[in-house]
Structure formats: structure tokens, C-alpha cells
A and B are shown apart, each in its own frame.
Chain A
Amino acid sequence: MSVLTARDVVTGYSGVEILHRVSAEARSGEVTCIFGPNGCGKSTLLKAVAGAIRTWQGEVALDGEPLTGLASHEVLRRGVALMPQGGGIFPHLTVRENLEIGAHTVRSRADREARIGEVLQENPRLADRIRIHAGSLSGGEQMMLAIARALLVRPSFVLFDEPSAGLSPKLAGEAMHRAASLAERGVGVVMVEQNIREAMRVADRIYILAAGENRFEGTPAAIESDKQLMELYLGASA
């Protein structure tokens, strides 16, 4: 089993500190959800882990091997992928080109083609739209493309930054369950979500951040039994 850890991570943007010593841990085969109010640093934590922004202090590690200070392409090569908010597809590239760039680190051409072929078989809707610009796909299709693309490199951990954002309730649930189902295949899933009710159903472990600090860590059952926590941070009057 693999473990992805962030320990006492301090980081931010252009000199402004957003995360003040945040720690979290994710395991392969589990869904780890990160909740918290807007601006609490959830996305920042994912970006710091994936190397998209620099970690100022603290440590990020995969199975004890440090990832701190690596650029995002190096983190990806070690098996940790991030699907950014909104999916992060390239709107001016075609669906096919988006998949090809997703498989950029796969050296052999034949292997790249085979993996893209698999994705298209699993997502016939994408296969039908292979030559059009990804920007003209519907929101749901874009999210499918983004999720499929993140898996092309067969990462051991995938960090999803709000897979359900901007989607209709039905599609939102679908996107989230698709992401969560990866855990059954042994992938470690880390998910930042606003759609807390749905996410609670799939989560194995939950972290709550507030104002750039850890506020809670535990199982969904533990949160549900804590009414104050639910009301304060999750906006749910359950």
C-alpha cells in the first residue's frame, strides 16, 4: 500500500501565506476528501502536493520519498496526478490532442496509442468528438475528458480539485462517483469537494481545513455525529 503525506505544509501565492502548517495523509485504495469553506486553502494544498506551486516549508512525500521542491512534471512522473479545478482541459486543442498531451510522459508511441484507445472505448461520447476542439464540448463531457486524461499515465494517486464543479446535479454525482470508483482499482483518490453530502457517501477519510489550518480529521461517521462541526464548516443543518 502507498501513502501520500503532507506534513506541516506552509505555502501561498506572491508572498501571501495561505496554508499555515497543514498536514494530511492519503492511502491507496481509499477516497480522502478535503472540505472547508471557500478560500481555506484546499486547492492550494493540492497544488502544493502536485508541485504546481512551491512548498515554502514542510514536506510532501510519497511512501517516504520526498516530493517537496519537485516541479509538477517530476511529481507526475512519480505517480501523483492533479486534475485542476474545472478539469484543466486545453480548449484550443482537439479532444485527441488533449488525450495525447495527457499521455505525454508515456515514452512509447504504441503504448500511448493503446492507452488512448482504451479511454475512447470506455467513453464512446468522447470517441465521437475526437476531432473537435475540447472547448466546444459540454461541461459534462469536458469533465469526463479531464478525468480520463488524468488516468492515462496510470498514477498511483490522483488529486481531484472539485470534479463536480459547474455540473448539473446528475452529472456532478456521476463525475464524483467516477472519480471515487478509482479507489476500487487501488488508486489513491484525494478529492476537494463543495458537494459535501455526495462526497460524504464515498469518502473513507475526511479532512476539514479552515483559514489555512487543519480543523478536523476522521471518518464520515465521526463528522456526522458532531453537529457543531457540521454546522460550522460544512454549512449543513443536519
Chain B
Amino acid sequence: MSLLIQTILNGLLVGGLFVTLSIGFSLSFGVLDVVDFAVGEWVMLGAFAGVASTTWLRIDPIAFLPVVFVFFAVVGWLVAPLIYRVRNSRNARPALMALAFTFGLATLARGGMLTAVGFDPRTVKIGVVQGTVTLGAVEIPTLRLAGFAFAAVATGLFMLFLYRTRTGLAVRAVAQNKEIAGLMGVDVKRTSNFVYSLYAGLTSMAGVLIGGIYSITAQDGPTYTLMAFFVVVLAGLGSVGGVLVAGLVLGVLESLVTVYVSADFTLAIVFGILFLVLVISPRGILRRGTA
């Protein structure tokens, strides 16, 4: 029994990070109208930025998080106009071209990192949070607790921004209808760039903590892309509230499968469940998606 509680708790804690890496992905999908295949690469690159901070700079990765955010937000800011341009071009099939473009970006990131650091798995050594916290019969790794705390704060701030600020309202309007948002005076292109930039920064920060909890290799990006897909599809495309639930569900599922079945079956089982959910409720678990 205590193993079950332990497993569910571990899953919930990691699930927080899945929420963080999916929430920006979901929103940038809404705003740019492109599924960003590079989402997992932002996680991978963030994790390696965390590795770099300890090995080269000897700075604790937690203290390095703001630098990771700013750096990848700038990279996102530079990449976003390219995606926007491909997506809104007058050439044939801009949606498909944009999808191919982000797939290319992902391949470039993965190939570049494989060349630079090879296939060896690395772990982000987070020194400030080590050991475990004991709560009755269960032991919680402090790192996972810190990861969850980070996820809760980051996601909370993100939601505050979305639902309490003028720019956040503009972002939600653009996600709902670009043409009308433009007619209301919202600069759609600038809003798209801004959201992508914010998302790249947020997801990379989550990557630092994910790289601390799991080991990471340069070719792990697609795994996290699949995770983000799972969360966003389960949530219902475009539903921010659904992401909060679906991310935690994924964390628990992954944790249960790893402990009670085998880590090798994680993706198979997780996607089998997604398949069933989509057959039963195609608009996502909260039935609020746009699909």
C-alpha cells in the first residue's frame, strides 16, 4: 500500500513538470496554429544548459534557471518570426510547411547536440536540493518536491499573466480567433512571437529540472515531444485548464507503469490510454477543447 501511495505521489510531483512543459506548447499551438515538433528539444536543450551550468560555470542549476529562461526566450524570439512567416505564407499548404519547418528545427537541435555531446546520458546535478523528506511511510525525494514547487510557481505565474493582464487577454483572443483579434487592434504577429518566446523559456527551465530527476541524452527530445502531445491532446486542443489535469495524469500513469510494469512499456501504455480516451471523448477530458 505504501508503495502505491509513494508511486502516485512521485508521479504527481513529476506531473507538475509535464504541466509546465505542455502549457506553453498548448498556447503556442493556439496562437501560431502550428504544432511545434521542437517542444521536446527545448526540454533537452534546457537540460543540457543545466549540465553546462554545473560542469563549466560551477553554478547551481537552480540559481541558473533565470539565465536559462532569458537565453531560450531570446532564441525563441528569433525563431518565432520564421515559423510565423512560413505559417502565413501565400505558398501552397502553409500549415503543412510550418509543421515540416518545426520538425526540421527539432532535427537540427537533436543532430547538433548529438554532434556536440554524443550519446552519453547526463544528469543535471542539482546540489541545493538533495536527499529525501519522510512523510509517514512515504519518502519523497527533495528534488521532485523542488521540481513540483518550481512547476507550481511557473505555471501559476503563467496563468496569472494569461488571465489577469491586458497582454494575457490579447494572447487568449489571438488563440481564439486571429482575424478578429487583429480587428480589435491586437498586433497578432508580435503576440505570436511573444508567446513562442515565453514558451521556449518556460519549457527549457522545466528541462533543467527534468534533467535533474531523469538522466537525459541528446536524442531524448522526441520522447518529451510525445509527452507534451499526450498532455495537450488529452486536455483537448487549446484547453489550458485541461493541461493542468492531463499533465498530472501523465505523471501518475508514467510512474505507475514504471513501477508496476516496466519503463519499456511507458509510451505504449500511455498512448494506448490516450487512444481509448479519444475514442470515448474526442474533445479531451474536460470536453472543452476545440477539436
Overall SS of chain B's interface = helix
Number of interface residues, chain A, beta carbon within 8 A:
27
CB distance from B103 to the nearest CB of A (A): 24
CB atoms of B185 and A90 under 8 A apart: no
Question: Mask for B151-192, Cβ within 8 A of A = 1, else 0?
Answer: 000000000000000100110110011011111111111000
Known: A88-B177, A100-B166. A72 touches B182 (CB 8 A): yes
Other-chain contact of B186, A52, A73, A149, A153 (Cβ < 8 Å): A73
Q: Is the CB of A76 within 8 A of B180?
A: no
Please give the distance in Å from A41's CB to the nearest CB on chain B. Answer: 17
Instruction: Find out whether the CB atom of B170 lies under 8 angstroms from the CB atom of A93.
Output: no
Give the residue among A71, A82, A104 with the most B Cβ atoms within 10 A: A104
A76-B183 CB under 8 A given contacts A100-B166, A104-B166: yes
In contact, B184 and A104 (Cβ under 8 angstroms) = yes
Q: Are A90 and B177 in contact (CB under 8 A)?
A: yes
Between A and B, how many residue pairs show CB distances below 8 Å? 67
Q: Which of A50, A91, A92, A93 contacts B183 (CB 8 A)?
A: A50
CA distance A50 to B183 in the complex (A): 8
Question: For B176, what are the chain A residues with a Cβ–Cβ distance below 8 Å?
Answer: 90-93
Contacts of B185 in A (CB 8 A): 73, 76-77, 104-105, 153
Could you say which residues of chain A place their CB within 8 Å of the CB of B188? 71, 73
A residues contacting B by CB (< 8 A) are 14-15, 50-52, 71-73, 76-77, 81-82, 84, 88, 90-93, 97, 100-102, 104-105, 109, 149, 153
Q: Looking at chain B, what size class is its interface with the partner chain?
A: 10 to 19
CA distance A15 to B90 in the complex (A): 8
In whole Å, how far is B106's beta carbon from the nearest beta carbon of chain A? 28
Chain A residue numbers with a CB within 8 Å of B172 are 93, 97
A71 near B189 with CB under 8 A, answer yes
Known: A88-B177, A101-B169, A104-B170. A76 touches B184 (CB 8 A): yes
Whether A101 contacts B173 by the Cβ 8 Å rule is yes
B172 to chain A, nearest CB (A): 7
